[in-house]
A and B are shown apart, each in its own frame.
Chain A
């Protein structure tokens, strides 16, 4: 099977959908002729022109609000933030308008709005270009949040995002953009709310998000040699979150570790732990444990940046500790 980079796979999804649906248009900075800072729209401007690949001035509230209005009136906008951090200037529009529009209108207005951007810590991007924030969006009713971790998932999830009538945050970890993986030629989509069991195991269940999936896989290779069999689950979407797959795994292993780059308080680990505690209390052989990023703005210098987020040795040790508990 052919191998594509994460970026190429996502772009292929966008290209295929734009070809099929003339109502899809993209706004952002540099997504027109330039093809996107992260090559998200390379080649599309030549196909569809300025009306569908529209560079916009730096005014996030403005173009998020504008795209909300467009989504309500028959088109399907894609807002390409480049760095997701910039979405925060449009937070009011997102929370009060975008997330609530379907509800307020009793379902008579749809909100087929796609919001995409790069997330995550790496490359010393420092505190204004390293945000994740997805637990916040997962917390609010009205949003769908997709977190693909490989090219196959990127394409499948982006296609689904461009066919759903809900507002979707499509978040791409910047350290995954150049990773490669198999992508079929045939058309496929991946539904939201369906986790992937990336690795089967018996001793402990690990749930990881975004880049942490790859880091955990690295840890698993070492742990296999030590005789620790890890079952690794990638939820792929945090809203909706596939708790059933996690629960089924915990029934098997009795132990659960959640690994996430975002902050501890009110984070993904808290949510998964609470749900598994509620639904699978008697399955647990040990408390649910979490590995999460340090509760701090992300620093610039490499040693500080590395210390701020979970690394492979830390993840491996957390798994060992949980098994030994």
Chain B
């Protein structure tokens, strides 16, 4: 696999910033009371969604979990559609029907974030089955947290993917806490990548805050899948520096020191440093900052001005022929 070129590097940088700025904005909006329901932000984990989705086409199918804004944005859902969705407006990517945990944009291969832990693993395997049957080289990708790996869906999904040699990428974002429960409490095996061996499929652990590392590992696994080499489990070790969900406490179950130590490993400043070291000019990077800022600003305005869904459409789309 080739090393990423300038275009790729800058787009990785931009993509992480889009996610970061969007999540910060959503956190602000949430606190302002503009977002009802739940909002699980992705701050600190941007490198994973960015590094993986950089390799994906629209035809590849991504299945995500409750902490899915980053995946939606990285897969190509415009920020205005994400913000509008969380605001409950009809212009949101799910037309106001889903909110944070049911973001859908099949047009770009975003096959849903989910309020249930586990199904994304199974559905990604299913996408792999379809692509194999239809003889395309598209792949399925599942993003899930450490909280999913003790779930039956993890076991059954990986097993099905491996016996059928399906083109699937299983990406575990191990941020070490499932809500407030440490991973080490829920599992005697404190690692995730080594579980792959039980299914006789490759498992790779990577620093989830290192975007180029994620990019490289994901790229290899995806290429293997497209060539018929079967599934891969990638464990990205990372951390969310904000609370499990907006409005919940940040510490108590973890120490301030721990949080601060991971803030120091923020993937975005780290990557910026790397880019500067590679000779990219700060001005260019700043311009990207500004553009992203403006883009998010526009997204918020768009969401605020958008209309609400019409209650008369309530019963639409339950079945494939509405009203049937």
Contacts and interface: CB of A to CB of B under 8 A. Distances in A.
Chains A and B touch each other in the complex, with CB atoms below 8 Å apart: yes
Given A69-B140, A73-B140, A74-B130, A104 B97 contact: yes
Nearest to A60: B156
A61 B154 CA distance: 11
Nearest to A69: B126
B133 A52 contact: yes
A51 B318 CA distance: 31
Interface string B115-155: 11011011111111111111000001000000000001101
B236 to A, nearest CB: 22
B63 interface: yes
A54 B164 contact: yes
Interface of A: 23, 25, 51-52, 54, 56-57, 59, 61-75, 77, 92-93, 96-97, 101-110, 141-142, 144, 164-166, 192-193, 240
Nearest to B131: A73
A164 B61 contact: no
Interface in B41-94: 61, 63, 94
Contacts of B112: 101, 104-105, 109
Q: Which interface residue of B156, B316, B317 has the most chain A CB atoms within 10 A?
A: B156
A193 B126 contact: no
Given A66-B160, A104-B98, A109-B104, A164 B320 contact: yes
B159 A59 contact: yes
B294 interface: no
Interface of B: 61, 63, 94-95, 97-98, 102, 104, 106-107, 111-112, 114-116, 118-119, 121-134, 140, 152-153, 155-157, 159-160, 163-164, 316-320, 322, 324
Given A69-B125, A110-B320, A62 B104 contact: no
Contact of B119 (A70, A71, A96, A141): A96
Most chain B CB within 10 A, of A64, A106, A108, A240, is at: A106
A96 B122 contact: no
Nearest to A106: B95
Nearest to B314: A103
A106 B164 contact: no
Contact of B134 (A23, A59, A164, A165): A23
A63 B157 CA distance: 8
B61 A72 contact: yes
A138 to B, nearest CB: 13
A62 B123 CA distance: 9
Contacts of B153: 61-62, 65
A95 to B, nearest CB: 10
Contacts of B319: 102, 142, 144, 166
B316 A107 contact: yes
A56 B125 CA distance: 13
A68 B98 contact: no
Contact of A59 (B98, B156, B164, B317): B156
A35 B102 CA distance: 39
A51 to B, nearest CB: 6
Nearest to A59: B156
Contacts of B123: 65-66, 68-69, 72, 97
Contacts of A165: 320
Contact of A65 (B104, B122, B128): B122
Contact of A104 (B94, B131, B133): B94
Contacts of B140: 69, 73
B122 A62 contact: yes
8 contacts: A25-B129, A65-B121, A70-B130, A73-B61, A73-B111, A73-B131, A74-B134, A107-B322
A320 B262 CA distance: 78
Contact of A62 (B102, B130, B159): B159
Contacts of A101: 112
Contact of A69 (B63, B317, B322): B63
A186 B324 CA distance: 27
Contact of B106 (A65, A109, A192): A109
Given A104-B112, A106-B97, A66 B318 contact: no
Given A59-B152, A96-B116, 7 more contacts: A57-B160, A65-B122, A65-B157, A66-B126, A69-B124, A72-B111, A240-B324
A105 to B, nearest CB: 4
Given A62-B152, A69-B61, A108-B107, A75 B324 contact: no
Select the residue from B98, B130, B160, B163 with max chain A CB neighbours within 10 A.
B130
A155 to B, nearest CB: 21
B72 to A, nearest CB: 13
Nearest to A55: B163
Considering the complex of A and B, which 4 residue pairs feature the smallest CB-CB distances, nearest first? A69-B126, A65-B122, A62-B156, A69-B123
B86 to A, nearest CB: 15
Contacts of B122: 61-62, 64-66, 68-69, 93
A25 B123 CA distance: 16
Contacts of A108: 104, 106-107
